[in-house]
Structure 1
Amino acid sequence: MNYNQQQAEWITQQILQELAAHKDLAETHSSPTLSIPVGISNRHVHLSREDMDALFGHGSTLTRMKAVKQPGQYAAEETVTLRGPKGELQKVRVLGPLRSATQIEISVSDGFVLGVKAPVRMSGDLENSPGIEIIGPYGRVLKTDGAIVAWRHIHISPAQAERFALRDGMEIDVRIDGHRGGILSHVVVRVSADAVLEMHIDVEEANGFGLRNGDCVTRVSASDRQDY
């Protein structure tokens, strides 16, 4: 082996050693494993003050039935009927507290029953969404928009988000174990001060992966993505 060949081999070895060192350093400083409890959302309605008055009587208030995991939110005793061009869904739960705008969250199959094509959206993004008739014990309202299929998302506090290198609005992948497990992509991160760690998906997505309330999923790291 001549001098040039020896020099080239030495340089190659140095480069390989440096790359290995950087890899070890990156693995040492990588984000810890994030295990996320699952919350499954069935169809439900969030009402504005105006629509609450129309459906349940002027000045009426929601009756708390049970708290949900996110602080300040709860399932109410009150239910409504949703009516669309093709059919209706009865006893749809109202969630509290009241909001500034009424929002109807349904599944894709619910849309088939009602005869509406609700877009997959993040909560609050109601522009150009279909309307639907909501019927309560004291009256009814015909909404011109507000029906959506909720985009799967994760609620997380700022402290946890910082620990796991997450930002509000970013999308991540999660791994679901079990016989029907797999990778669920495009899960949106929602960071808020009072959030409790939880991933929200609808009934159809949960059934597809064999998930139940309280099951846990795991964030997929960059190194894990190379395996699929």
Structure 2
Amino acid sequence: MSYTVKIGLSNKHLHLKDADIETLFGPGHKLTPTKDLVQPGQFACEEKVDIVGPKGTLKGIRVLGPARPETQIELAMTDARSIGIKAPVRESGKLDGTPGCKIIGPAGEVELDHGVMVALRHVHLSPAQAEEAGVKDKDIVSIKLEGERGLIFDNVLVRAGDAHEREIHLDTDEGNAAGCGSDATAIIIK
């Protein structure tokens, strides 16, 4: 049995903790949602910042909400290299040993000593969807994309739970390698 999942291409973005939101955007500032994301309770924000590395700056990087316990910057490898940061591939929230950078907002700056990463490829599934696909939380699977530039991605983390909804997250480097468009799907291979 094959289980098909829509692909969500993840452009460079960041998640901020409350204290950094206030430093970057001003005391008492609350994030301004502009678009709900597929994952329940998550949204793109009006707020944007600049990310500064040793070799350059990425301007106008979108903040995603809601606030997180720790600030996390998710870049594609191409983005990280362009500003001189050697970002490791990590699961979301696993920030130990990651490099830092400077974040510049309209009201202030934050100097991070860690928090920059390349997100590990992953598939979000609700508990019922995971059962239907025959996988469980923390499984590592492969996904197969068909088409002109079809390929198989290995080392895809399953994130299954009540806060998840069926979607595969690839970054822009991965999406471009596979020629993904907005309607791309992949088959989970166990």
TM-score w.r.t. structure 1 length? 0.81
The aligned counterpart of 1:50 is 19
SS at match of 1:60: coil
- Say which structure is richer in strand: 2
Letter of the 1:146 counterpart: G
- Please state if 1:142 is matched with 2:104: no
Which structure 1 segments of 5+ residues have no match?
A: 1-31, 222-228
- Give the C-alpha shift of residue 214 in structure 1: 3.2
Bigger helix fraction: 1
4+ aligned runs moved over 6 Å, structure 1: none
2:93 aligned with 1:127, yes or no?
A: no
Q: Deviation per CA, 1:101-152: give whole Å up to 9, x if none.
A: 0000011111112111000000000001000000000000100000000010
**Counterpart of 1:163 in 2: which secondary structure?**
helix
CA distance in 1, matches of 2:158, 2:183: 18
Matches within 5 A, 1:7-26: none
Using the alignment, how far apart are the partners of 2:163 and 2:54 within structure 1? 39
TM (norm. structure 2) is: 0.97
How large is the Cα RMSD of the aligned pairs? 0.9
Q: 1:174 aligns with which of 119, 138, 143?
A: 143
Higher relative contact order (CA 8 A, sep 6+): 2
Query: Which residue in the other structure is 1:163 paired with?
Result: 132
Number of aligned residues: 190
Larger Rg: 1
Q: CA deviation at 1:186?
A: 1.0
Give the Å deviation of 1:163: 2.2
SS at 1:98 equivalent: coil
Distance 1:81 1:164 in 2: 39
* CA offset digits 1:63-95 (Å, max 9, x no partner): 111111111101000000000111000000000
Where structure 2 has 5 or more consecutive residues not aligned to the other structure, the ranges are none
